[in-house]
């Protein structure tokens, strides 16, 4: 029953929109002439359709376009690095990594030191009666500098991606 009603509605709107074939139109008009209820529905719908013609677009505030443009300007000013600055930063990171690598290779950080708790307590010794346990933390300078070099390389790759390659390909895509 509901399906039939939906089908009839579809036909009604197709009829009003003029999207029916000649045969379908003829058939629908035949049904229409036999059904005063359907005829009434078509008339009401036609009246509505003509009323809807008075619907107009709503207007936003007069400063709408200006606000959009200032938002765009703000976002482009506040956006990340320019390609040129990105390249400078990348070169800086690479130079630091290179210098650190050369120093590591030259054996500057080969000596292994240790961090020990002081044994001579100076003026505090009269307050601390118990001997302090000896603590010694070995420090491998080479390992630390190697870690710093790796970190620099990772930062370098991120800068290369975000500030150089991505903007470059986006610009190329826009111009293609």
Partner 1 sequence: MVHDPDIPVIERVLQGEQHLYAQLVNKHKSYAYSLALRVLESKPDAEEAAQDAFVKAFKYLGGFNREAKFSTWLYRIVFNTAISYKRKQKMKLQSIETVHLGYSQDSLEKNDKKKFIEQAISKLNEADRVAITLFYLQEFSLEEIADITNTPANTVKVRVHRARHRLAEELKGILNEEALSL
60 binds partner 1 (CB under 8 A): yes
CB of 160 vs partner 1, minimal distance in Å: 20
2 binds partner 1 (CB under 8 A): no
Q: Which of 131-136's residues contact partners 24+ apart within 8 Å by CB, and which partners?
A: none
**8 A C-beta contact, residue 109 and residue 149:** no
CB of 142 vs partner 1, minimal distance in Å: 46
By CB under 8 A, name the one of 24, 27, 39, 72 that touches partner 1: 72
Q: How many helices (H) and strands (E) does the chain have?
A: 7, 2
By CB under 8 A, name the one of 22, 34, 37, 52 that touches partner 1: 52
Q: Would you call 109 helix, strand, or coil by DSSP?
A: coil
Residues facing 112 on adjacent strands: 140
Q: Which of 110-116's residues contact partners 24+ apart within 8 Å by CB, and which partners?
A: 110/141, 110/142, 111/141, 112/138, 112/139, 112/140, 112/141, 113/138, 113/139, 113/141, 114/138, 114/139, 115/139
* 20-28, 53-61, 105-113, 125-133 -> range binding partner 1 (CB under 8 A): 53-61
Binding-site size, partner 1 (CB under 8 A): 32
By CB under 8 A, name the one of 22, 34, 37, 57 that touches partner 1: 57
CA 49 to chain centre: 43
By CB under 8 A, name the one of 4, 21, 75, 134 that touches partner 1: 75
165 binds partner 1 (CB under 8 A): no
* 48-56, 82-90, 130-138, 145-153 -> range binding partner 1 (CB under 8 A): 48-56
- Using CB under 8 A as the criterion, which residues of the chain lie in contact with partner 1 when the complex forms? 6, 9-10, 13, 44-45, 48-49, 51-52, 54-61, 64-65, 67-69, 71-72, 75-76, 170-171, 173-175
């Amino acid at each position: 029953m509901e399906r039939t009603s939906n089908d009839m509605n579809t036909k009604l709107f197709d009829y009003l929109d003029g999207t029916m074939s000649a045969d379908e139109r003829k058939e629908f008009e035949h049904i229409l002439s036999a059904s005063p209820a359907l005829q009434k529905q078509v008339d009401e719908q036609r009246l509505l359709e003509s009323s809807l013609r008075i619907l107009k677009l709503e207007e936003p505030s007069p400063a709408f376009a200006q606000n959009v443009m200032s938002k765009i300007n703000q976002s482009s000013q506040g956006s990340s690095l320019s390609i040129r600055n990105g390249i400078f930063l990348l070169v800086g990171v690479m130079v630091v990594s290179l210098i650190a690598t050369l120093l590591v290779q030259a054996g500057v950080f080969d000596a292994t030191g240790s961090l020990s708790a002081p044994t001579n307590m100076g003026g505090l010794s009269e307050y601390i009666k118990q001997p302090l346990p000896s603590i010694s933390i070995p420090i491998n300078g080479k390992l630390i500098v190697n870690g710093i070099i790796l970190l620099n390389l990772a930062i370098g790759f991120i800068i290369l991606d975000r500030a150089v390659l991505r903007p470059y390909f986006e610009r190329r895509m826009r111009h293609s």
